[in-house]
């Protein structure tokens, strides 16, 4: 059993041949990570638990509200965080794309102007994206909110999973992070 309350356990896996996975199947891999984490940390079997969703879709365990979790996937990676505190996590593959166009939907006006002057706009874009998304997942708002309108508070941490990915975790206060790769 987990005794400390200020810990976030992040379980992640790399899927083989990502192109053969559908979005639904990647979500199922997320559930496998959740099942592993629940069994490993709490001795709880996911198949005997009922899951619910908040008003904007944030998942939770109906019979264990003391256990908070969040799942994300992108490209070859799936991540799942468990904690005794509300948490949000996001991972994004740093792929080449027109970040100047998409950046208009991610950055506030002043931030966007600074972003355009950044030497590595791809890196800056994906850093901001995972920060925004993990924040919105932590608060339970999801993408129901315009990212440019979000006023953040709390604490965040970038996680190194792979050099070609950006990953961030958001919570109300600093957490000790235990990062563990799992083969599923």
What's the pLDDT tens digit per position in 127-163?
988 998 999 999 998 767 777 787 889 999 999 999 9
- Domain span holding position 152: 7-181
C-alpha closest to that of 136 among 104, 110, 168, 112:
168
Residue 144 lies in a domain: yes
Residue 121 lies in a domain: yes
pLDDT surpassing 60 at residue 2: no
By DSSP bridging, strand 59-61 and strand 68-74 are: unpaired
- Answer whether 51's CB lies under 8 Å from 61's CB: yes
According to the model, what pLDDT value does residue 88 have?
A: 97
Ramachandran angles phi, psi of 12, nearest 5°: -140, 160
What is the spatial distance between Cα 10 and Cα 117, in angstroms, rounded to a whole number? 34
Residue 68 lies in a domain: yes
- How far, CA to CA in Å, does 164 sit from each of 70, 129, 171? 21, 14, 24
Question: Between residues 154 and 100, which one has the greater pLDDT?
Answer: 154
- How do the residues of the chain divide into helix, strand and coil, expressed in percent and rounded to 5? 35, 30, 35
Residue 111 lies in a domain: yes
Residue 25 lies in a domain: yes
Instruction: Residue 67: give its domain's CATH number.
Output: 3.90.470.20
Residue 19 lies in a domain: yes
What's the pLDDT tens digit per position in 24-34?
999 999 999 99
What is the spatial distance between Cα 151 and Cα 132, in angstroms, rounded to a whole number? 10
Mean pLDDT of the chain: 91
Domain count, the chain: 1
Residue 120 lies in a domain: yes
Residue 81 lies in a domain: yes
- Give kind and range of the element (H or E) at residue 62: none
Per-residue pLDDT band at 5 (split at 50, 70, 90): low
């Amino acid at each position: 059993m987990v005794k400390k309350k200020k810990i976030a356990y992040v379980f992640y896996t790399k899927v083989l041949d990502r192109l053969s996975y559908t979005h639904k199947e990647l979500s199922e891999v997320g559930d496998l990570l959740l099942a592993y984490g629940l069994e490993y940390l709490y001795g709880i079997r996911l198949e005997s638990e009922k899951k619910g969703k908040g008003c904007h879709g944030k998942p939770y365990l109906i019979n264990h509200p003391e256990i908070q979790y969040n799942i994300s996937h992108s490209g070859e990676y799936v991540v799942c965080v468990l904690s005794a505190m509300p948490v949000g996590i996001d991972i994004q593959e740093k792929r080449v794309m027109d970040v100047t166009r998409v950046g208009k939907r991610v950055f506030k006006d002043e931030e966007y102007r600074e972003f355009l002057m950044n030497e590595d706009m791809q890196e800056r874009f994906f850093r901001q994206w995972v920060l925004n998304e993990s924040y919105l997942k932590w608060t339970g708002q999801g993408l129901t909110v315009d990212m440019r309108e979000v006023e953040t508070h709390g604490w965040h941490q970038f996680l190194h999973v792979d050099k070609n990915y950006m990953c961030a975790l958001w919570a109300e206060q600093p957490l000790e992070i235990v990062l563990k790769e799992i083969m599923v």
